[in-house]
Structure 1
Amino acid sequence: MNLRKSLSDGLKSLIPIIALLVIWEITSRTIRVMSIFVPPPSVDLLALYHGIVSLEYFVLIWETLQRMFTAYFLAAAIAIPIGLFLGWNLRAYKVFEPLIEALRVIPSVAWIAPAIIFFGLSGTSVVFVTFYALFWLFLVFSLYGVLSIDKLALLSFKTVRAKKRDIFTKLIVPGSMVNVAAALRQGIAVAFIVTISGEMLLSVDGLGYFLLESERIFAYSSIYATLILLSILGYSLTKIAILVEERFTLKWAIESGIRIG
C-alpha cells in the first residue's frame, strides 16, 4: 500500500515538470527567435544524452563533486567542533563573537579576488570559496544547537557532579545534533551552488566552467543541457542529504533521550 502511494505521489510530482517541458517545447518551436537562443527541450535533452554517452559529463561531474565534497567535509570537520566548543564555553564565545560576526557577514564571493591572488584560476580557489561559505554555516548552527539544549538537562548533569567530558559527550553533542543535522543538510545545497558559481569564475574545468564556456561559443543547447543536468544533480544530492538526516542523524539524537529546546 505504501509502495503504491509513493508511486502515485511520484507520478503526480512529475505533472508540473512535464507541463513545463511541453510549454517550453511548443513555445520554442512556435517563436523562431526563441528557438535560437532557447532551444526546445527535445534538442537540449539530445545534447545531454550525447554528453553522457561520450562520458564528457561524467568527467565534469567528477571534477565538480570532488571540489564540492572536499570543501564540505573539511568545513564540517573544522567548524562543527569549534561551534560545539564555543556553545559550551560561553566565555570563549563572548571573546570570539565580534570576530565571528564580522567575518561571517562577508559574502563568500567577495573572497574571489583574494582566492585568485593566492591560488590563481584553479580548483583550489573554488574549494577555498566554498569552504568559507560552509564554515560559518556549520559553526553558527552548531553553536546555537548547544545553546538550545534544555537547561534542566544541563543542570541535572551538574547536580550529580558529572565530569565535563561526560557532559560534553553525553549531553552537548547529542543535544545539538538536530541543529548539526540541519546544517549538514543545508550545507549540501550551499556547497553545490557556491561550487558551480566558483567554477564559472575561478576554474578551467568542471560543470560551472563548461556552462560559461558553452555561452562563449554560442552552444545554446549545451547551456540548457547543463542546466537540466545541474537541476537533476542538485535535486538528487538534496534528497540524499534529507534521507541521511532522517534515517541516521535525527534518529540517533532522538534515541539518545535528550530533550531539545
Structure 2
Amino acid sequence: MNVLLVYAHPEPRSLNGSLRNFAIKRLEQAGHEVQVSDLYAMHWKSALDAQDYPARPADARFNPAADSAHAFENGLQREDIELEQRKLLWADAVILQFPLWWFSMPAIMKGWVERVYAYGFAYGVGEHSDARWGDRYGEGTLAGKRAMLIVTAGGWASHYGPRGINGPIDDILFPIQHGTLYYPGFDVLPPFVSYRTDRIDEAAFAALCDALGKRLDTLFSVEPIPFRPQNSGDYVIPTLALRSDIAPGKVGFAAHVAESIGSAVE
C-alpha cells in the first residue's frame, strides 16, 4: 500500500525525527511504499496568499476561494501545491506527524493544509442544494483513504485526560481529525499520542517505538473513529444540525461520533 507521511518538526535530531525514521522503516519493512513531505526541510511556504495564484490579474481583489477554484480548474496552480495534491491522490493512507504546539499543529503544517486543500479538490466538491450539501464529512475527493495523527505532547497524559486541565485530547484533536481529515473524506483512525516528551529516555523510547510499531502494523485494519457521515440522514439539510432523535441530550464534539470507542491513544 502507499503511505504519505506529512511531517512537521524543525529539528531532525528531535524525538519526532527519531519517531519519523522509525515509522518509515517499519512501514517499508511491512512492504508499504512511503513518501515523506518533510515540511521544514522543504522550506514549505506557509501562508496562503495572492502569490499562490500568479495567473490572476495583479490589480484584482484577492479572493482565496474563488482564486483557488480558478487555478485548480484551469491547471494554473503552483507546482508545489499540485505536487502535494498528487501525493494525496497516490496515497492509500496519510499520516500527519507533529508536536502539539499551543493546542494544535505547527503553523507550517496548517499552511500545508490551507494551500494544498484547494477549492474543487478538498472542498467545494459535489452538489450543494436543499437536498445535499456537497460531498464532505465522509465523502469527497479523499474518500476511501485512511488517515492518522502521530502527535507528541510535553504535558502528562493526565493533563489531557477527561478531567485534565488542558481538556481531553480527543476534543483538542477534533478540529484536525473531524475537520481537516474527515471533511474531505478520509477514514480517520484513532491518534497515536505520546506524552512528557522531554522525559523520554532510551528505555521509554524503546517502549514508545514498540507501541507505535504495533499501531502502524494495523494501519489498514484498525476500525476508524465512527464520525457521523453528513449525507447519511443523521443531519438535517441544509441546516446541518443533527436530527433531534439522533444522540438526544448530547452536545458538542461527542454528538458527532456515532458510538463511543475505547481510547487508542498511547
TM-score, normalised by the number of residues in structure 2: 0.28
| Greater share of residues in strand | 2
State the structure with bigger RCO (CA 8 A, min sep 6), 1 or 2.
Answer: 1
TM-score, normalised by the number of residues in structure 1: 0.28
Answer with 1 or 2: which has the greater Rg.
Answer: 1
| Greater share of residues in helix | 1
